[in-house]
Structure 1
Amino acid sequence: MEATPSQIINLNPLSITGMYQVKQETLSLTTRDGIRLDADVYRPDSTESFPILLMRQPYGRRIASTVVYSHPIWYASHGYIVVIQDVRGRGTSQGNFDLFTNEIKDGFETINWISQLPGSTGMVGMYGFSYQGMTQLYAASSQPKALKTVCPSMVAYDLYHDWGYENGAFCLQTNLGWAIQLAAETARLKGDSNAFHKLYEASRNLPLSDPIFAYPNLMKEVAFNSFYHDWINHSYPDDYWSNLSPKKFIDKLDLPMLHIGGWFDPYLRGNLNLYNAMKSHSNYPQNLIIGPWGHIPWGSKLGSQNYTKSACSFIDQYQIDWFDHFLKGKEIDYLYSQPVSLFEMGTNKWKYSQNWTNKEEKNYYIFSQGLGNIKEDDGQLINTIPDNNINDIIVHDPWRPVPSLGGHASIPSGSFERSQLDNRFDILTYTSEKLTEDLLIKGTPFMEIYCTADTVSFDISIILSEVKPDGKVYNFSQGYYRIECEQLPIKIPLQPTCIKITQGNCLRISISGACFPAYALNTGTGKLPYEERLIDAKVITIKVWSQLDQISKIILPIN
């Protein structure tokens, strides 16, 4: 009998010993344009033929994404030839690295090459997360015959909306941190010690106080080839973004996919957008796993929460089962009977189903007497539409912006205790009465809000939290929106989630004009991130309200 998802979750993947000893070698492919791409190949020490697993990545192939996956030796010991390749211009591979640009053609040639390796069955699967997840989608779009399945984890579907920007706001901390990391590796490969050490130092303390705070001089001085220049200079969705987005070639993606995400990963919305698109147009199985994880690690603890050992990653064993089915033809029933595996925070249990979304909704309306930022008991979340609400006003001061704390867009990510932060007078809080029964929130919450400001542009941050009986407050979902002359109300999507709020606890919405440095500050000038100067940043007065004909509410997807 094959393992069920719940049985897999209780396994420690590293304790499972494969049946094969493994040997390693380094092989190279020369592409049609004359570029050598190097790869480490791990293969079972056997005369049998095996399917191939491919990972293509930009961080140096010896790392092999072991920050979240088992080592390639472990996969190879289960009867696979595992190929970990440096993409063009990274590691020891030749050529110039240009973010995502060459991954379609290089992925296609690589798959055709490895499918002909000695001892190969000619069947190829791919796995990997983040950049390594994107390389799977690019390669699959070229439709190589040997590629039978992919396991994209933590990826973008629309590169602008799912990775670079969130509702028009530049994702500063993740974008800049990643750009510095890649630029430092570029400097190391070139032997430029001056650039490397400057970038290394910046990676430990992001440069956020330059005159143009979202566009630090460091990137212009020692990282002039970085993708960061393109990302910050293309502040709106345009051809630059669409040409690199899997959304553009979704009609060419038609194969089984295992989609893996985390409730606190910045790219979860991309994962789910891809999953939904594939479910809509492909007849092949599309399985989904979402754990209580950030981008890294995929373990039991994140932020200030311990989700217990049940949250520890079982992805390695699940992927072996997935590949065993699609590359070796083994029957594994649970892949079809329970294709969606979601970790339910609150109960700290995995839940299995055929679909991930709910159709039911529950609304909470904001209500206050105008002191939602000052008196903790003034701002309320209520079940009925308020008829005597008074406007709430907060003032965003760029000298002391509301800091980011956890969530999906900050580093570190996760759920943190934020009761002290919520005491700031530039944060509005609205808290429900104690719940009289458990409330399961599963899906994408939305905040529909009426708000205005005294500047041409302003930002709104929405944090959704659980308030414990002892007064401690833990965030579990958030949304952010850059507002430029939008018609009211503004509907702000929050991070998808799955959490059970138990009876006796409360819900809270926290609203502010910043979440820095997760998102670039809005100076209130209407200028774009690449030209917004810190010295020009304005104090912004923001008004929020809810009344009979203009109702601000949080819309919760519930069971």
Structure 2
Amino acid sequence: MVALKPRRTEAMLTRDGIRLVADIWEPEGDGPFPVLLMRQAYGRKIGTSLCYAPPEWYARHDYIVVMQDVRGRGDSGGEFILFEHEAEDGADTIAWAASLPRSNGRVGMFGFSFQGSNQLLAAGEKPEALKAIAPAMIGWQLDRDWAYENGAFAMRANIGWATQLAAETARLKGDYEAQQILFAASRGTSFNGRQPTVPAHDALLAKYSHYTCWRDTPPGDAYWDKISPASRLSDIAELAPGVLLIGGWYDSHLPGTLEAYRALSPHTPTRLIVGPWAHFPWDRHIGDVDVGDDAITDIDQQQIRFFDQWLKSEPEQQVAPVRLFDMGACQWQDLQDLPEGNTQAFPYGSGRAAIDTRDGALAHAVPDDVLALSESLTLDPWRPAAPCGGSFGFPGGPIDRARTDARSDVLTFTTPLQETDRLLAGTVTGCFEFESEYESFDIHATLSRVDSHGKVHPLAEGYALAKPGQTLLPMRGTCLTLKKGERLRLSLSLACFPVFPINPGTGGSPIAATLDQQRVTTVHLKCGSGTYLLLPWLKQES
């Protein structure tokens, strides 16, 4: 076991004179050692505790480990403005870390969520010493894969995260009454006000967080490029660090993680690992299912091997670029790339798919005698459909949604029994053709596995603003060996409340809609070639 020096605390100054504070762990010995850096928004004392081994574990693998409070958090100075200083401050920190005594001048970064996205922002400054990054569960283009989902405002997640950040900001500013109000709100936020996107503690969110800015800034605004790693792709590619991306099939940020892989892999050595996890913890128990020992996180060991290659010049790992956890076989699948949907599946029924879960079918072709049929779907804002497991539910993961599917405001389409084991691995896309007298509506699509006992476990979801005509709905990815005797099911509804606000159907923004503006909305899903799923079937096993 490598002996460590006592932990020490040091500070540095950014280019504009802000003092940033960090704790440092390092091994005994002469070195030199590479540096592993995490820049924390939740206080450096929390360190790596949510998903990773403690800093001491990494230091004992012959690394100098630096845990830093970002600007305006913990003991660091300045004002915390979400993502707006992370590029420059990150680059300054990397240069400082590379110059630490006994450093070999090479720096790697790791961390998940905020701590993952800020690595990419820093890499966009092209800091010479940054040789490797391991961003986990990240946003890539934040107006598409963090604040919004296919144009729909992620209300519950945005309010929840902003409340957490605001409570800490209030505490740091000595406003303990506001901290208490925000803490209480975090334990029971109500979405039952006249305008659900304006919670009772909205004034405190405006004072101490980014929430009103994100709510009031539409997708596509130049603001999002300012804070999104995607806008720095060319600079990251020019720096060309080693990249290890880590995601979870039920993580809220999976679309950003996958899109980062698609964008980065042609330009810089990039590897992708996706486990069966939600945002955290990364374990074998997810939702109602135990997916086995192989799912218990080995990300720490994977990261050490990755950083050893890029920061210590050890031999290159002989590993596949893409490693996906198969939630049916309960084992990892190694692939050369991230598959995309390649097989069409068409939903159809006899007109009762919202009433009888046996009525709707999902098949490779639509029978000629039902091509003219459509399925009716209604939203009653008095009792909107809610999430159930999956990526949007709480708790998330494979929670049995059979009762949700039995609701009369949920259309279901189910395949015949699978005749052989078959691997479904990659991203799913839905294309849906609607008729409606209403100008706008939302669509929530869920692909699930129906097991041999009739339990319905979500696999991949998507949500989007829609209107009459055809709506292309990018859904999340999955990896599952569908076993003989199991089935797939597509479920569609017009709401997922309170994850997203209810669409009033008027063409106006659901963000600004008030309770009195909500109306009963009915749409008709047209069966035929304009409505289908693209499913990533990879191989068939005997």
Kept in 1: contact 2:2–2:27 (CA 8 A): no
Q: Which moved more, 1:223-232 or 1:255-264?
A: 223-232
Residues of 1 paired with 2:182 and 2:438: CA distance?
A: 35
Q: Deviations over 1:521-556 (max 9, x none)?
A: 212233224421122111111211213xx5422221
Pairing 1:305–2:286 present: no
Residues 166 and 184 of structure 1: CA distance in aligned 2, closer, same or farther (over 3 Å): same
- Give the ranges of 4+ consecutive aligned residues of structure 1 lying more than 6 Å apart after TM superposition: none
Q: 1:438 Cα shift?
A: 1.9
Kept in 1: contact 2:163–2:205 (CA 8 A): no
Partner of 2:531: 552
Select 1:373's aligned residue among 350, 354, 359.
354
Residues of 2 paired with 1:531 and 1:377: CA distance?
A: 38
Partner of 1:189: 172
Partner of 2:334: 352
Alignment of structure 1 residues 322-401 onto 2, 5 Å = 322-334=306-318, 337-357=319-339, 361-389=342-370, 390-401=373-384
Partner of 1:536: 517
Q: Deviations over 1:428-450 (max 9, x none)?
A: 11111111122311111111111
Partner of 2:276: 292
Kept in 1: contact 2:427–2:475 (CA 8 A): yes
Q: 1:222 Cα shift?
A: 5.2
Pairing 1:54–2:37 present: yes
Per the normalisation by structure 1, the TM-score is 0.93
Q: 1:332 Cα shift?
A: 4.4
Kept in 2: contact 1:195–1:222 (CA 8 A): no
Residues of 1 paired with 2:378 and 2:510: CA distance?
A: 21
AA aligned to 1:524 is G
Alignment of structure 1 residues 89-488 onto 2, 5 Å = 89-221=72-204, 223-253=206-236, 254-282=240-268, 285-334=269-318, 337-357=319-339, 361-389=342-370, 390-484=373-467, 488=469
Residues of 2 paired with 1:209 and 1:446: CA distance?
A: 32
- Is the partner of 1:407 in helix, strand or coil? coil
Residues of 1 paired with 2:203 and 2:393: CA distance?
A: 24
Partner of 1:9: none
Residues of 1 paired with 2:392 and 2:204: CA distance?
A: 27
Residues of 2 paired with 1:160 and 1:504: CA distance?
A: 40
Q: Deviations over 1:264-314 (max 9, x none)?
A: 1111111111111111223xx211111001111111111111111110110
Residues of 1 paired with 2:17 and 2:364: CA distance?
A: 66
AA aligned to 1:517 is P
AA aligned to 2:390 is G
Residues of 2 paired with 1:189 and 1:225: CA distance?
A: 11
Q: Deviations over 1:405-439 (max 9, x none)?
A: 12223332211101111111111111111111223
Residues of 2 paired with 1:93 and 1:453: CA distance?
A: 54
Q: 1:19 Cα shift?
A: 2.2
- Is the partner of 1:463 in helix, strand or coil? strand
AA aligned to 1:211 is R
- Is the partner of 1:420 in helix, strand or coil? helix
Where structure 2 has 5 or more consecutive residues not aligned to the other structure, the ranges are none
AA aligned to 2:284 is S
AA aligned to 1:554 is L
Residues of 1 paired with 2:453 and 2:131: CA distance?
A: 52
Residues 313 and 496 of structure 1: CA distance in aligned 2, closer, same or farther (over 3 Å): same
Kept in 2: contact 1:395–1:540 (CA 8 A): yes
Q: CA RMSD in A?
A: 1.5
Q: 1:22 Cα shift?
A: 4.2
Partner of 1:11: none
AA aligned to 2:404 is L
Residues of 2 paired with 1:137 and 1:382: CA distance?
A: 41
Kept in 1: contact 2:36–2:110 (CA 8 A): yes
Partner of 1:25: 8
Q: 1:180 Cα shift?
A: 0.6
Residues of 2 paired with 1:348 and 1:20: CA distance?
A: 37
AA aligned to 1:331 is P
Q: Which moved more, 1:46-55 or 1:405-414?
A: 405-414
AA aligned to 1:314 is D
Partner of 1:88: 71
Per the normalisation by structure 2, the TM-score is 0.95
Q: 1:388 Cα shift?
A: 2.6
Partner of 1:12: none
